[in-house]
Amino acid sequence: MRVEVYPHKACYRPGEIARLTVDLHGPAGADVQVLTSFAFLCDEVARKTRAVRLNEVGKATLELAWCPPTDAPRGYGVDVQVTDMAGRVLATGSTAFDVLERWTQAPRYGFLCDFRPGRSDLESAAGWWVRYHLNGLQFYDWMYRHERLLPPAEVFTDPLGRRLSLTTVRRLIETAHAHGVAAMAYAAVYGASVPFYHQHPDWALLDADGRPIPFGEDFLMIMDPSPGSPWTDHLLSEFDRMLRELGFDGVHLDQYGDPKEGYDARGRPVALDRAFPSLIRATSHLVHRHRGPEGATAFNAVGNWPIEAVAGAETDFVYIEVWPPDVEYRDLHRLVVDGQRLGGGKPVVLAVYIDPAHERNVRLADGVIFASGGFRIELGEVGGLLSDPYFPKHGRMTDGLADTLRRYYDFLVRYENVLSLGTRDATLERGRHVVVEGAGGQEVDVWAVVRQGEGFETISLINLPKGGRVRWDQPLGEGPPVLTDLRVRYPAERPIERVWWASPDGPLRAAPLPFAGQDEVTFSIPQLGDWALVVLEWA
């Protein structure tokens, strides 16, 4: 017997009914009971029981509906147990969903890059998005040209020779909206084709010798994005036209990380870290004029630059494309935490390009980012995983990695109220006090990421490989060996009422942990694969 359960939307709004599908596969004509439990963190909040008969080919589909409380933002877990009529368990399955006021409260950001004419897999693609709870999609390189977003015809060729269709773009936007997913239009802030540059040479950004600055060989020229420059006015007019004619929910602004400064046509210096916030502000105002409060704006801090200038700008979340020297797993934690601080508590999305062949690297990157309260753009096209900054060159996941990441995304949504929403990092001051002991009382080399929220503290135990600097950009091989029966000692800041744990590598459903002590609380973790989450609820 097999069971799969998934929601019909990527997220729900307060007061909206959550609808879920349960697919059963088993013996033809079998009569079974389907027990569905809805949980908020460690507590069951609703339960449904249905009797079902499988058809002549051993299949049945069950539609469930439940109206969660209007409290938002809030994530829920869904656990399904299939039994025979005597009560024997035949199969189990789980999923999650959340209730958000706006998708950018918890931006599970994905990507699309396939806009070929006649694309016919839109509904199956949407099924993929909602199974991973992707509630926002970046439409990467959907446009005709960098300086002219809308094409002269429905079918067109992009600057790199790809045959694209504006009809496909429209249909993908409509499909995303039907499943509760926002559509974000990619746009470069200062890239223009070489022919366009030759038409407007005085719009370009120049180097110290007064020469135009190229990007790639005969590909693009860098234009001047200063406030009020002709290029900026032109780009904003393109955004205005795009938002009027297409159903995009916002704009994702990209830069290339270099140059960082230049000169305008009159020889005046242009500091891009000062120019970018002004362009972000103008774009955000334009988006809100067209889309109201639902509109969103994002900006790519390439290599974490210029994060101090743009994190607090008028974006809806902080987006960082990670490059050397930030190559260690601990760097991913630092980037998320610093982005949250500089952004005044905004969500942080990291773009980290890892070959899906290195499955442990992928799992650990997600574990570290999610445990740190962050999000990662990596999924979107069916079966794909971002492994290159040019999104059409994404890699392909094995079925095993796809299943693993589905558990990780279920986990992320289910426990968002203790992982990200309304929490703050406390690793620097509290993490070093977490002592983990293995068999025989020997201390185990496990990294502890600590976050605090209203009434609780979370300890994420990350099983990083031993040996000092551990890099996400170098293959780790398989592993790690699963650690069992770990004893944790931790000085509590206040009296503890309850301790519970869960893991994307083990039981998704939270389970209580017996604990002892108050000034120093002790408890035992049954097992640790890559990542385990422990929550201490304060009295």
Q: Where are the domains of the chain?
A: 2-99, 424-538
Q: What is the pLDDT of residue 532?
A: 97
CA 112 to CA 465: how far, in whole Å? 33
Q: Residue 404: which of 445, 363, 368, 358 has the closest Cα?
A: 363
The token pair that represents 498 in the structure block: 């309850």
Q: Encode pLDDT of 45-79 as tens digits.
A: 999 999 999 999 999 999 999 999 999 999 999 99
CA 202 to CA 251: how far, in whole Å? 26
pLDDT of residue 480 exceeding 80, the answer is: no
pLDDT of residue 519 exceeding 90, the answer is: no
pLDDT averaged over the chain?
A: 96
From 40-54, 326-340, 461-475, the region with the lowest mean pLDDT: 461-475
CA 321 to CA 494: how far, in whole Å? 38
Rounded mean pLDDT of 427-444?
Answer: 86
Q: What is the pLDDT of residue 439?
A: 66
Taking CA atoms, 128 is separated from 123, 125, 275, in Å, by 9, 5, 38
Q: Encode pLDDT of 169-195 as tens digits.
A: 999 999 999 999 999 999 999 999 999
pLDDT of residue 379 exceeding 70, the answer is: yes
- Cβ contacts of 82 within 8 Å, gap of 6 or more: 1, 3, 24, 26, 32, 33, 34, 35, 89, 90, 91, 92, 93
SS (H, E, C) 361-372: HHHHHHHHHHHC
Q: Tell how strand 18-25 and strand 191-193 pair up.
A: unpaired
pLDDT of residue 134 exceeding 70, the answer is: yes
Please spell the DSSP secondary structure of 213-225, one letter per residue: -EETTTTEEEB--
Per DSSP, helices labelled H in 160-249 are 166-178, 194-199, 230-245
- In this structure, whether the domain defined by 2-99 belongs to CATH 3.40.190.10 is answered with no
- In this structure, whether the domain defined by 424-538 belongs to CATH 2.60.40.420 is answered with no
Same fold, 2-99 and 424-538: yes
Q: Encode pLDDT of 197-246 as tens digits.
A: 999 999 999 999 999 999 988 899 999 999 999 999 999 999 999 999 99
- The pTM (predicted TM-score) of the whole model is 0.97
pLDDT of residue 443 exceeding 90, the answer is: no
Q: Encode pLDDT of 387-410 as tens digits.
A: 999 999 999 999 999 999 999 999
Q: What is the pLDDT of residue 467?
A: 62
The token pair that represents 9 in the structure block: 């939307």
Q: Binning pLDDT at 50, 70 and 90, where does residue 440 land? A: low
At 375, give phi and psi (nearest 5°): -135, 165
Q: Which regions of 8-140 does DSSP assign to beta strands (E)?
A: 18-25, 31-40, 43-53, 59-66, 74-83, 89-99, 109-112, 136-139
Q: Binning pLDDT at 50, 70 and 90, where does residue 465 land? A: confident
pLDDT of residue 481 exceeding 90, the answer is: no
Three-state secondary structure call for residue 170: helix
Q: Hunting for tokens 């997600």 — which residue is that? A: 366
Contact, 312 vs 266, CB < 8 A?
A: no
CA 409 to CA 133: how far, in whole Å? 7
At 233, give phi and psi (nearest 5°): -60, -40
pLDDT of residue 508 exceeding 90, the answer is: yes
Tell me the Ramachandran region of residue 529: left when phi exceeds 0, alpha when psi lies from -120 to 50, beta otherwise: alpha
Could you give the percent of the chain with pLDDT greater than 90? Answer: 94
